[in-house]
Amino acid sequence: MVSEVRQVTRSLTELRHDRERTLQVRELRLRIIPADPDNADEGFLDMEGETELWIEAESKTPLLLSGKAPKIPGRIKLELFEIG
């Protein structure tokens, strides 16, 4: 389910052309929540609780993933910096 829409400026390295580009990007925030929080097998990538996924609205390219994982203290954050 899309829970938020935002317009942001992102800097990405284009591997094909070996250059950095700054783009205005329309992003969608998807919230991934297990139907049964007590059932760990239902979480996305074995992550615990809610997982947040931001995607580029037009191409649906994943840009940011964050959440909690078992046995890792704190919050995991994976962000796209290069595209090719």
Q: pTM (2 decimals)?
A: 0.78
pLDDT along the chain (84 residues), means of 10: 91 90 93 74 68 92 90 87 78
pLDDT at 44: 62
Q: What share of residues in the chain are helix, strand, coil (percent, to 5)?
A: 5, 60, 35
pLDDT at 41: 59
The residue written with tokens 């389910």 in the block is: 1
44: left (phi over 0), alpha (psi -120 to 50) or beta: beta
